[in-house]
Amino acid sequence: MNYRKLILAAMLICLLAGQSALLAVDQSPLLKAMKGELDRSFQALQFADEVPLYYLSYRTTDTERFSCSATYGVILNDTKTRSRIMVTDCHVGNHDLDNTHEIRGEFDYSMYFDSASTRLPLEDDELAIRTIIWKSTDELYKSALERYTKVKTNQQVLVEREDTSADFSREEPNVYIGEPASATIDAEAWKERLKQWSAIFKEYPFVQTSSANLSLTNDNRFFVDSDGALIQTGESYARLSVRCSGTCEDGMQINRYESFDSDTPDGLPTGDEVEKAIHRLIDELLELLDAPLAEPYSGPAILVNRASGVFFHEIFGHRLEGHRQKSEMEGQTFAKKLGEKILPEFLDVYDDPTIGEFRGMYLRGQYKYDDEGVKSSRVNVVEDGVLKNFLMSRSPISNFANSNGHGRAEADEKVVARQGNLIIESSQEYPFDTLVAMLVAECHRQDKPYGLVFYDISGGFTQTGRYGPQSFKVIPLLVRRYYADGRPPEAIRGVDIVGTPLSSFEKIAATGDDYDVFNGTCGAESGWVPVSAVSPSVLVSQLEVEKKVKEQDKPPILGPPYKPSRIDNSF
């Protein structure tokens, strides 16, 4: 008797029994309805046409959101919303060539903007849910067949494409039933805090608009596909933010903003930390309202940690997303640079959505499985300055046949490769004061009167398409000039960082030891997704800034009713 086989068989039986028990107890009724209709539809449609349906998936996002804002010491809005949105993904043909193939020679809107999304009932009525799924599946299947015909025609009349990799990867299906996201909030207690915090701004008449805001989101995601995937995950995240703005005498709008993030409201600050942040924002607003306008400049600069994180996310991270190396509409900045040095050798870059914190700091870009049912994983994209990898969805590219769990999308959008938690680490770190001294020394070397230090950046955008310049623009909020002659630092306003990526990366000279996290929401072809970027401060030997567009409206003539005298920015 082969005892080894008996033992393995027994283990397999126990595993399957445990999995069945897990599904029977914890599986959502919504997931059951999705699975039932997927099995029925796929079996019926698989060979309904001479072009086979070889893959079908349903992805549903059930989102509950609470948000509340206060201004001038009173509640401005208080909302609760819930939605269930499902996206159907349908592939006809085969893995090598299917209906998702890029149609070349024209801008292919359907690649990104035909999302095949539909709203599902909020109640768990199986037949109602399945009926809506059935209708969506039928419509998308017919559209897929029509598009496949266009793909075949396009293939016949155009030259062979540069990247001949398959259209869709083969992946092992995952089965995972996780706990639902169900974070709660003491709404009344938080409303009182928001009112108290928002009332602080009333003491400063130069603050033209202000608010304190709280949001809590419970995202429950469900995924099934014809390969056998069955996934149920839940993520909660909470954000507390405070903001204020004012208008300069020349009409420029100045905005200051601070946010705090956690997976639940219990992780958010409730006391002195928030008040200190509010008073810091007020002081910075006043400083910027009186600050001189910046002039176009090219010279040494420091991007302070979180600002550096935004910088890397915008101009570097997006160019590591896999589909950008394949599409012939893309500039393919790094497609041919595998194994080449693209950053200084003291820098490593990786994207790791499997972790929820970095050195005790919360990371919003965490997820267990991506939106194609692939388990998330850490991807080392740059090691010792050398490009090693790309962020991959199930759309293969040359030398990368499989996903590494970075296929992501907003609830009603199609999936493409996206960032999660982008982390920049350095093996040569300096205290911030040393970086400033190096900045001043670089100013002397270049015969520049000053260098710039960027303390805060709101975001930006980058051009990655082949039909436009390979450039970027990043939008600073707080910038100071550090003079080479030793004068005190001076705030300036009205600058945007501009440039091209390859030349900018070559200018990185040193990094700090002051890692910090930027948590935000990133928009791209597949909509808005939660992301994080981690970086130390970075010294660059040359950075270019240009004047930003400014508003023309004059500031208010009278002060607000609670401070009715004329507004005086020297308050």
Write out the DSSP string of 277-299: HHHHHHHHHHHHHTSPBP--EEE
Residue 520 host element (H or E): strand 516-524
Predicted confidence (pLDDT) per residue in 365-391, tens digit: 999 999 999 999 999 999 999 999 999
Q: Is 167 exposed, middle or buried (0-12, 13-18, 19+ CB in 10 A)?
A: buried
- pLDDT reported for residue 11: 42
Q: Is residue 260 part of a domain?
A: no
pLDDT tens string 407-452: 999 999 999 999 999 999 999 999 999 999 999 999 999 999 999 9
**Token representation of residue 169:** 């990867």
Looking at residue 20, its pLDDT comes to 44
CB 475 within 8 A of CB 485: no
Q: Give the residue, 571 or 226, on which the prediction is more confident.
A: 226
Confidence of residue 319 (pLDDT cuts 50, 70, 90): confident
Per-residue pLDDT for 343 more than 50?
Answer: yes
How far is Cα of residue 169 from the mean position of the Cα atoms in its chain? 24
Residue finishing a domain among 144, 177, 210: 177
Indicate the pTM of the whole model.
Answer: 0.90
Q: What does DSSP say about strands 347-351 and 379-383: parallel, antiparallel, or unpaired?
A: antiparallel
Is 316 part of any domain?
yes
Q: Is 521 within the bounds of a domain?
A: yes
Q: Is residue 361 part of a domain?
A: yes
Residue ending a domain, choose from 177, 199, 216: 177
Please report where in the chains the tokens 């810091």 appear, as a residue: 280
% residues pLDDT > 70 (the chain): 86
Q: Residue 6 has which token pair?
A: 């008996």
Report the alpha-carbon distance of residue 510 to residue 343 in Å, rounded.
11
Confidence class of residue 326 from pLDDT cuts 50, 70 and 90? confident
Structure-token match 């002060």, residue found: 559
CA distance 317 to 260: 23
State the pLDDT at residue 476. 83
CA atoms of 317 and 197, how far apart (whole Å): 36
**Stretch among 9-13, 99-103, 358-362, 392-396 having the lowest mean pLDDT:** 9-13
pLDDT at 104: 72
| Confidence label for 322 from pLDDT (cuts 50, 70 and 90) | confident
What's residue 484's pLDDT? 96
What pLDDT is stored for residue 115 in this prediction?
62
**Greater confidence, 382 or 563?**
382
| Residue 216 scores a pLDDT above 90 | yes
Q: Which domain holds residue 315?
A: 297-547
Give every CB contact of residue 211 below 8 A, 6+ residues apart in sequence. Answer: 69, 70, 71, 76, 198, 242, 243
Q: Is the dihedral of CA 266, 268, 271, 272 positive or negative?
A: positive
Give the mean model confidence (pLDDT) for residues 520-547. 92
Most confident of 96-105, 458-467, 514-523, 541-550: 514-523
Residue 69 predicted with pLDDT over 90:
yes
Q: How far apart are CA 547 and CA 495, in angstroms?
A: 5
pLDDT band per the 50, 70, 90 thresholds, residue 457: confident
% of the chain at pLDDT higher than 90: 73
Residue 246 lies in a domain: no
Task: Mark which of 109, 144, 177 sits at the end of a domain.
Answer: 177
Structure-block tokens of residue 347: 């820098």
Domain membership of residue 360 (yes or no) is: yes
What pLDDT is stored for residue 16 in this prediction? Answer: 45
357 and 493 both lie in a single domain: yes
Provide the pLDDT for residue 184. 96
Assigned domain for 445 exists: yes
DSSP structural state of residue 566: B
- 46 within 8 A of 206, measured Cβ to Cβ: no
Q: Same structural domain for residues 170 and 314?
A: no
* Contact call for residues 339 and 417 (beta carbons, < 8 A): no
Q: What's the structural domain count of the chain?
A: 2
Cα–Cα distance measured from residue 492 to residue 484, given in angstroms and rounded to the nearest whole number = 16
For 525-547, give one letter per residue: b (16+ CB within 10 A) or e. bbbebbbbbbbbbbbbbbbbbbe
Query: Does a structural domain hold residue 149?
Result: yes
Q: In angstroms, rounded to a whole number, what is the distance separating the alpha carbons of residues 286 and 506?
A: 36
Q: Quick one: pLDDT band at residue 335, thresholds 50, 70, 90?
A: confident
Backbone angles phi, psi at 130, to 5 degrees: -65, -35
The tokens for 361 are 């700091």
Specify the DSSP class assigned to residue 326.
H
Task: Count other C-beta atoms under 10 Å from residue 249's C-beta.
Answer: 10
pLDDT above 80 for 37:
yes
Please state, rounded to an integer, the average pLDDT across all residues of the chain: 88
Mean pLDDT of 85-109: 86
CB atoms within 10 A of CB 559: 15
What average pLDDT does this structure show over 61-86?
97
